[in-house]
């Protein structure tokens, strides 16, 4: 079975010193690809280094997370853009980028950085991986004004009206461990076609519910996630995993091992 973690943050502090064992554990669970999402310049640099160290399994998505726009240095947006341009042949997507309505005090900065990241994706013809807490409607409405062809709305949770629009536009969503216990996420998975769904852990985000129990999140959790999706879609686990792997290949333009 070929499993994929399309959204994880391997360069976050919580994973420092654990990468070897995480990747070994992921491989043992059948995970064949991890997309490590950067959140600022430092994690962009580290994600590129990880992709070089673990070829054909770790792939970098580079960008600036909306939570970081207030703490980054004065020139960091431009420095990050320059870094991404200099590594354009290795980068597989622009992410994690987006808007978060919990941080309204930095709304102007968020929209400015998001706009720059979307223009960078246009320029490099790369897919985008989007964080849209409380802003999914707004983002789904604004994206058609950019020439970004491939869009992934990570951890899609609500509203279902935006899900319908997103699917109509050919966007993808990722879902992770909450699909095993959250009624809202299960409803999203039920409504979205399997051809638009990919899997994620968003690690090191921690899940406190069973069976995760607050442990350090590992990409090997993807197996549980796929089992839950398969059950909701009334598919064999193998069949769901295959379709999700195919979605991954189509979205990122990465050929997975057979
Ligand atoms: Zn994330």
Q: How far is the CA of 95 from the centre of ligand 1 (A)?
A: 9
CA of 35 to the centre of ligand 1 (A): 11
Q: What is the largest CA-CA distance in the chain?
A: 51
Distance 7 CA to ligand 1 centre (A): 6
Angle between helix 237-252 and 222-232 (nearest 10): 110
Q: How far is the CA of 238 from the centre of ligand 1 (A)?
A: 26
Q: Write down the pLDDT at residue 104.
A: 86
Domain boundaries, the chain: 3-252
Backbone phi and psi for residue 120, each to the nearest 5 degrees, phi listed first: -65, -40
3-252 is classed CATH 3.90.950.20: no
Calculate how far, in angstroms, residue 129's C-alpha sits from the geometric centre of ligand 1: 9
Q: What is the pLDDT along the chain (258 residues), one digit of tens a residue?
A: 999 999 999 999 999 999 999 999 999 999 999 999 999 999 999 999 999 999 999 999 999 999 999 998 889 999 999 999 999 999 999 999 999 999 888 999 999 999 999 999 999 999 999 999 999 999 999 999 999 989 999 999 999 999 999 999 999 999 999 999 999 999 999 999 999 999 999 999 999 999 999 999 999 999 999 999 999 999 999 999 999 999 999 999 999 998
pTM strictly above 0.85: yes
Strands (E), 183-251: 197-199
């Amino acid at each position: 079975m070929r499993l994929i973690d399309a959204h994880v943050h391997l360069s976050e502090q919580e994973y420092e010193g654990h990468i070897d064992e995480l990747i070994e554990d992921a491989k043992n669970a059948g995970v064949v690809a991890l997309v490590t999402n950067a959140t600022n310049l430092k994690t962009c640099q580290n994600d590129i280094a990880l992709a070089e160290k673990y070829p054909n399994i770790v792939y970098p998505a580079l960008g600036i997370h909306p939570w970081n726009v207030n703490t980054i240095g004065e020139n960091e947006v431009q420095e990050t853009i320059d870094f991404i341009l200099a590594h354009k042949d290795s980068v597989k997507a622009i992410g994690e980028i987006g808007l978060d309505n919990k941080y309204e005090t930095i709304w102007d900065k968020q929209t400015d950085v998001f706009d720059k990241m979307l223009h960078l994706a246009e320029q490099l013809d790369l897919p985008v991986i989007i964080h849209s807490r409380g802003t999914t409607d707004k983002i789904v409405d604004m994206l058609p004004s950019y020439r970004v062809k491939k869009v992934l709305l990570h951890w899609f949770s609500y509203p279902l009206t935006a899900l319908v629009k997103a699917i109509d536009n050919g966007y993808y969503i990722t879902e992770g461990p909450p699909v095993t216990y959250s009624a809202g996420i299960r409803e999203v998975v039920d409504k979205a076609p399997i051809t638009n769904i990919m899997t994620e852990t968003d690690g090191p985000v921690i899940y406190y519910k069973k069976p995760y129990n607050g442990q350090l999140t590992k990409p090997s959790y993807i197996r549980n996630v796929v089992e839950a999706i398969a059950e909701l879609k009334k598919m064999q686990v193998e069949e769901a995993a295959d379709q999700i792997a195919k979605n991954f290949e189509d979205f990122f333009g990465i050929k997975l091992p057979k």
